[in-house]
Structure 1
């Protein structure tokens, strides 16, 4: 370990010196040549030994023999055949056929089931001093680590599709690394064992709905470092034509360029009519307008919660009470009814303006969604003219004005996400202004869940076709329907809803809204299902393919597409991903999710006052026991970036934006530069005032840095101290980031890196990223 550290520091000194002397920029052809240079990391000079009865597998290299698959209980073996490079046999009782073959650079393992029923195989079980695993961005886990042992004791089973961002796992043996690489991770679960030390096994399900009952690995031997491990995997996916660069994606959609150097921000303009747009002093007299009684009738008939609370507020206002509670109820009720097809009533709206009259003449049922909202806005605005500002000013203080402020602050590129497409359709002027600013803007969308009855409150789970609830939802092998998000509704089978996707997306875009991006929930997050419904049996592979089909549909619309997670079965189909760098932290901890009095409670999904829900804006600490698992640099590795830096732009999950974790904003910023991770945050008028100056100042460094970093492979990663708190990444040969996460300055040759600081070295230029004030 000390020897490796000394070598790392020497390499750092040599490269740092070279960088300081060479100030010339590379040409595009030189960059391409450097990126496309292939280095072979797989070492084929090994021998293997297998014991069929216990399915033990060993590898011998340079005189050292390591067990890479631990022995299991003995099974009956038949049809055993051996040659110089190949061994095959049957497990007749399990209806399995196994073939192991030594190839030039790897060991191929193929297991085939002949059982038509669902069956399982737990293999391999592995044991190593350290594991290199693509958990989210990447982790290096010592098998005796106390924090990880505690975590895996309770979270001892994981679905590989969701838990691993890439299709491999690596055993760090004493003298070399062994990587198990899979063609896919479908139907695999990881079972962790912690007594006496961390081991794990892979349980594969040969599902009855899957006629291709094969379970395969390519096993590679490489040097024992994360760069060799990741780059060997990159060679594998390139060999299998599964690697698409951003530059190649950009040829299909030039708008992708707008992601380069961009921060990612969710903008919460959830009310088109805001408190700033209301003349509250006129409400007491306006409240007698029949519109307000009609709103109550609509809420009674169509609202999920009825109108009881609303009617109480109306009475309060008539009695002279007008506090924050009453104002919020009025605004929320208006927002709700502005989305209703049933709002137009000729007995209420007797004198519609010219715009509304045009829509009425067209026929309410013939309006697209954007036209409906425009009609409803004009109906209400014309009915209560003295109560609000002019309609063209509605909602702009919390949307269009923020975009203008970002421009004035010098932010040239940005991705702006809306929590729902309604936010854009109700405020097209904001969308147009955002697009005109040169930014990407698009809605959050989801096809994970469906509810039986359509609801304005959960429109992503609402579909006009009522047959989907029964005919397009997923069943388990016992015939039970899988429940949707938060246990509500049901899970949709993506192979059966492509027409619903087209109908929704085409409907949203029908009015000419200026969306140039789209965020698709879950599709790249690995939540895939076998569907055992007799009418539509579906494999996880088919599930994934259907999700990629709809992502491709969005791309062909000219939209820059992103998704949750970023697991690499989707890497060729998305430009960006949210959730790899900081995933959802401990979903099932009641202190974080349920106990509102807990200091760790992360907040609620809904906001009564139209601001950012506290789920996304509240700054909270995380428990010490979770820091090693989710945020500690000691265990983190940029595995995904070493493979996909030029292919997918990945950042935090929206629950855990760059400011969310108390006491870690500075540390996470350094890591954003070290790993080339765009900052992600949530914005409304208040949050822009709070964080805008810091965001703008950071962008002066971030934007040019990432534009350069995305041109190159992440070519190297090193830790420069024994505590793993000084780390270095390289992008190509002339861009480096050294981040010092420790509490003391780090000295290497003539370069001093202050504590809590990152240094960017680019063609001899040095830029310091200081975070001293971020957590104070």
Structure 2
């Protein structure tokens, strides 16, 4: 920092009059602004936005000299000290008006005042923040649940600079704030909350052998009328930023506690204490449904109605009883071939373009099942027991295992159409059961007709496509089709949701993407929508479902900007990593390979255990780099779990760390099941669910409506951690391999949690490995 600036800010901070500053310093900083609130003061250089905060005991640098507009330095004019707590000034040549107000927090607002319209493809970029890296010891960032990132850690520096630069503060940052741990005689935490969270970008770099961070905002043709505002607070606890944001949400009427949601929707009681399960396998027939394999194989090749598959002809046609044996792969091929041939024989009846076809899908499913009963019943078990994922036997085994609370999700709604009575059975058992649905991407017919959610009318795909500023339509998921504006064709969307719930008989629904805050500006004639308006559209769509359909609604991520209507979300307790890593995605010989997307009824990608490659293992799963920012804000408002790509059993060498963290934060486990993975009550994945329930169910039943109020390390290494809740309950997790005894003589076994609940219940739990 420039020495003269430091002297100036120090003098201002201790309350010396401006006249006491040297003439040389006054000439260099003629517009220095000092804001006062009680015994604290803030000094701002309006030309550069250099900010220092002074208390009785310390001074904290809040911002480096960061201010640039379109990469151009600015000059402050019309500087006006409105009061000792407020000031304003105009930045030139950008013509942006700035207002700074200091109460308990510092609020800085930027208004774009130019009368010259901002061109469609030429946004005005305001760089306003540069991390004061000299004092910064760690960043607390809500990427996923929360990351604690030491600024001097070389591995973190390189990873953040390579993977998190150009992050936006809507989808990438799960809550629109971050905190900086500042070292000194006592640690302070500076938190920065973006009142306007849209059209922002975070950049990370390495400077002076430390991690550096910058932030910028864009005024665009569509959002130029929206002021950009930042709320800056100074505290003494690492959760202060999260607590400030939680309080702000309440003040803005954005927070809806789970207790209030439960009063409005009694079925939500089934979510309290529930582990989350995804059932895989969508077709009518499973391997377990066959009782005469040789007879079925011979029958298949005599059915002139069926269009035989090439794979079946090649792999099964020449097999003869007595000369060969039917292997597991042969059996799988036969069942897959029958299911595929049956789908080709009995197709879904074509409807008008604006008809969603859900009724016709239901009817086709029932006809396929009836056709098999008529033509192949001799070789199969009772038709009421059929089903790859959803089946009577599956639900029976879950009940028999004593799993009293579950949320059950289906990959496709059509898997429920074959056995709707099993959905009723699950509901009667007290489970929530729903299907995956989405209205984010629309694709043309023939590209991937099995991607049901993306099968939307051609006119809707074209007319609702989001148009970028350059005039191009925004490509959809993985470059397929187009991403859609959520306000467009709401009538069609609402009718399809109604029909899916009606024919599937669901009491829950998982609406993918809507809660990720994946927002964009839409320049189409039908759109003309900025990012803030698009966030509102996502929230309105989810709120409509929760208010008008009798289902418990969930969505992906549960990003803080898009939580209206949802009671649960999947994704916050993990973070996406290694998307382009060849050892994880391509190299099948690698121990880090996540798995192929087959077999169809149980893809390895979801069921095959995998190890975690460095540096991901250390950065994302070591307890000393995690902090429960999200749970501090949302624990009593929204139940969150893992993303379905990585259930509780997927990552073998960090399962213990993930299990302990989940119990420490009081978040539910997620376990994937298929028919063959749940044959008996003692199947490994069923046993895992039983084990998770032993701790999570009683603890969550006590804490589901309680706020998380504190988080701290009980040792210097971060291997002994404690969370505290608003009723006084505490949970302690020992991540180490050594039993530890606390000052009160209470023992915490190695790799275990101990929950001391407010009703004096004590629960001790240790992770177990059921799936290698």
**Fold conserved (TM > 0.5)?**
yes
- What SS does the corresponding residue of 2:738 show, helix, strand or coil? coil
Q: State whether structure 2 residue 251 is matched by structure 1 residue 246.
A: no
1:99 paired to 2:96: no
| Equivalent position of 2:408 in the other structure | 416
Query: 1:99-118 counterparts in 2 under 5 A?
Result: 99-102=99-102, 104-113=103-112, 114=114, 115-117=117-119, 118=123
> Which sections of structure 2, spanning at least 5 residues, go unmatched?
1-36, 350-355
* Match 2:455 to one of 450, 454, 462: 462
Aligned in 2, Cα 1:396/1:761: closer, same or farther, shift over 3 Å? Answer: same
**Correspondence for 2:501:** 509
Aligned to 2:79: 80
The change in CA–CA distance for 1:341 and 1:206 in structure 2 (over 3 A counts) is farther
Superposed counterparts of 1:208-357, under 5 Å:
208-223=221-236, 225-278=237-290, 279-292=292-305, 294-296=306-308, 308-309=310-311, 312=314, 315-316=317-318, 324-336=328-340, 338-339=342-343, 343=347
Q: Within 5 Å, which residues of 2 pair with 1:374-389? A: 374-389=366-381
Tell me how far 1:712 sits from its aligned partner.
1.6
2:619 paired residue number: 629
How does 1:170-181 map onto structure 2 within 5 Å? 170-174=179-183, 175-181=187-193
Once the two structures are TM-superposed, the CA of residue 247 in structure 1 deviates from its matched residue by 0.7
Aligned residue for 2:616, secondary structure, equals helix
Count matched residues.
699
Mean alpha-carbon deviation: is it higher for 365-374 or for 738-747?
365-374
Equivalent residue of 2:53, what SS? Answer: strand
Indicate yes or no: 2:695 matched with 1:705: no
Q: Is the Cα contact below 8 Å between 2:465 and 2:484 reproduced in 1?
A: yes
TM-score (norm 1): 0.85
User: Is residue 724 of structure 2 the alignment partner of residue 730 of structure 1?
Assistant: yes
Aligned partner of 1:751 in structure 2 is 746
2: CA distance between counterparts of 1:367 and 1:88?
A: 61
Which residue in the other structure is 1:120 paired with? 125
Q: Kindly provide the CA deviation profile for residues 253-279 of structure 1, in whole angstroms up to 9, marking residues without a partner as x.
A: 111111111100101132221122233
Q: Is the 8 Å Cα contact of residues 743 and 756 (structure 1) preserved in structure 2?
A: yes
Aligned partners of 2:275 and 2:692 also within 8 Å: no
Runs of 4 or more, structure 1, over 6 Å off, are: 318-321
Inter-CA distance 378–775: structure 2 relative to 1 (3 Å threshold): closer
Distance 2:283 2:234 in 1: 56
Name the counterpart of 2:510: 519
Q: 1:92 to 1:680 in 2, by over 3 A?
A: same
Distance in 2 between residues matched to 1:775 and 1:275, nearest whole Å: 22
Aligned counterpart, 1:164:
173
Match of 1:146 in 2: 154
1:652 aligns with 2:642: yes
Which residue is 1:300 aligned to? none
The structural deviation recorded for 1:467 is: 0.8
Secondary structure, in 3 states, of the residue corresponding to 2:239? Answer: helix
TM-score by length of 2: 0.85
Say if 1:267 and 1:399, in contact at 8 Å, map to a contact too: no
1:582 Cα deviation (Å)? 1.2
Higher relative contact order (CA 8 A, sep 6+): 1
Note if contact 2:384-2:392 (Cα within 8 Å) is conserved in structure 1: no
Q: Which residue number corresponds to residue 3 of structure 1?
A: none
Offset at 1:444? 0.9
Contact 1:106 1:219 in 2 (8 A): yes
Does the alignment pair 1:530 with 2:521?
Answer: yes
> CA deviation digits over 1:309-336, x for unaligned, max 9?
4554574469987655554344334434
Larger relative helix fraction: 1
Deviations 1:593-624 (A, max 9, x none): 2222222111123324x2x2111111111112
Tell whether the 8 Å contact from 1:420 to 1:443 is kept in structure 2 after alignment. Answer: yes
Kindly state the Cα deviation for residue 290 of structure 1 after the two structures are TM-superposed.
4.2
Partner of 1:544: 535
Change in Cα spacing, 1:240 to 1:745, as seen in structure 2 (3 Å) is same
Counterpart of 2:663 in structure 1 is 673
Q: Does structure 2 retain, via aligned residues, the 8 Å contact 1:739–1:757? A: yes
Asked if 1:441 is matched to 2:433, the reply is: yes
CA contact (8 A) 2:258 2:636 kept: yes
Deviation, 1:504, is 1.9
Summarize the Cα distance change of 1:52–1:727 in structure 2 as closer, same or farther, 3 Å threshold: same
CA distance in 1 between partners of 2:638 and 2:389 (Å): 33
